[in-house]
């Protein structure tokens, strides 16, 4: 069963999500939910290449973060804080009936996922953080992004971001066109507000409290989150596994979606075997 374009109204915010549930019915008693949280200026479609490795075993929930995709930031309830994103995650898990679940986050979504593990550890089975910083101040200046958006608009900003996300030969032309256009449809307000909140978030002294099993996936050449920073995060987490992908920038979860999905599937298989 696939259920697309469902809407959750929560705290005045409108969150749009899909449920992909095609695992064989005789596995129903063992089926668990994976919830995917994307990063800045992207939407829930970016996870498509991850799904072939997962949907035969797991129920998958993908959603558009508040301010992105179809979850537009309209009306007065514009709470951009990471704490609000954590509440969105937990409310969505409640809405789909997932008392406990596997959480996957990329970039800002990964940082929010770390905060979720600190806020509600009893809800998570595992956590996967992709191209994720635990020290938000390491990310580029919000003033530079705002000036670029003001001067060149969202399409100009999106075009400038592409070399940071992908090597020239890293993705096909149709993939590049799709990604560029999806970035360009996000509002400048959303991009700047999310980045500002990320820069103010520092979890370095707290991530050592996370006992949830964690998989860290990272490219070897992200200009936003150096591999050395992810190695530091790996060293601070008491129960983590790190996989570095060669020839990959910050857009790793899109450029290497199938490989990431297979890495997650292997991680979850090991976790299930030891649980």
Give the number of other CB atoms < 10 A from CB of residue 11.
12
pLDDT at 3 over 90: no
H-run or E-run covering 215: strand 214-219
Distance of CA 83 to the CA centre of its chain: 15
Q: What is the mean pLDDT of residues 227-254?
A: 97
pLDDT score recorded for residue 128: 98
pLDDT at 1 over 80: no
Higher pLDDT, 30 or 249: 249
The 10s digit of each residue's pLDDT in 83-135 is: 999 999 999 999 999 999 999 999 999 999 999 999 999 999 999 999 999 99
pLDDT score recorded for residue 28: 67
Q: What is the mean pLDDT of residues 254-265?
A: 98
What six digits make up the tokens of 148? Answer: 């670029």
pLDDT at 67 over 70: yes
pLDDT at 275 over 90: no
pLDDT at 173 over 80: yes
Q: What is the mean pLDDT of residues 6-23?
A: 95
Residues 6+ apart with CB under 8 A from 194: 40, 67, 80, 108
pLDDT score recorded for residue 98: 97
Residues 6+ apart with CB under 8 A from 16: 5, 6, 7, 8, 44, 63, 64, 69, 70, 71
pLDDT at 37 over 70: yes
Average pLDDT, the chain: 94
pLDDT score recorded for residue 140: 63
Q: Left (φ > 0), alpha (ψ -120 to 50) or beta: where does 33 sit? A: beta
Q: Which stretch of 47-51, 76-80, 155-159, 209-213 has the lowest confidence by average pLDDT?
A: 76-80
For a pLDDT cut of 70, what percent of the chain falls above it?
Answer: 98
**In the CATH hierarchy, which top-level class contains the domain 2-274?**
alpha beta
Q: What is the mean pLDDT of residues 247-272?
A: 97
pLDDT at 210 over 80: yes
Residues 6+ apart with CB under 8 A from 216: 128, 129, 130, 132, 230, 233, 234, 237, 240, 241, 242, 243
Distance of CA 130 to the CA centre of its chain: 7
Rg (CA), the chain: 17
pLDDT score recorded for residue 39: 96
Q: What is the mean pLDDT of residues 220-243?
A: 96
């Amino acid at each position: 069963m696939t259920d697309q374009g469902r809407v959750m109204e929560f705290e005045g915010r409108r969150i749009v999500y899909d449920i992909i549930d095609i695992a064989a019915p005789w596995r129903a008693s063992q089926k668990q939910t994976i919830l995917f949280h994307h990063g800045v200026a992207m939407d829930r479609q970016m996870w498509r290449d991850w799904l072939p490795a997962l949907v035969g075993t797991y129920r998958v929930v993908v959603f558009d973060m508040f301010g992105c995709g179809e979850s537009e930031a309209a009306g007065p309830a514009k709470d951009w804080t990471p704490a609000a994103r954590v509440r969105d995650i937990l409310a969505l898990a409640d809405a789909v009936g997932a008392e406990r679940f596997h959480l996957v986050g990329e970039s800002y979504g990964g940082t929010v996922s770390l905060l979720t593990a600190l806020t509600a550890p009893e809800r998570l089975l595992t956590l996967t953080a992709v191209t994720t910083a635990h020290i938000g101040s390491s990310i580029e200046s919000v003033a530079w992004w705002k000036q670029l958006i003001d001067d060149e608009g969202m399409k100009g900003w999106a075009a400038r971001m592409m070399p940071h996300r992908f090597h020239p030969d890293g993705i096909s032309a149709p993939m590049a066109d799709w990604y560029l256009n999806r970035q360009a449809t996000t509002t400048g307000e959303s991009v700047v507000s999310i980045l500002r909140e990320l820069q103010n978030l520092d979890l370095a002294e707290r991530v050592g409290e996370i006992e949830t099993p964690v998989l860290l996936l990272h490219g070897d050449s992200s200009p936003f989150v150096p591999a050395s920073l992810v190695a530091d995060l790996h060293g601070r987490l008491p129960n983590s596994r790190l996989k570095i992908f060669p020839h990959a920038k910050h857009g790793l979860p899109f450029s290497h979606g199938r490989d990431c999905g297979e890495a997650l599937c292997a991680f979850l298989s090991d976790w299930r075997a030891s649980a």
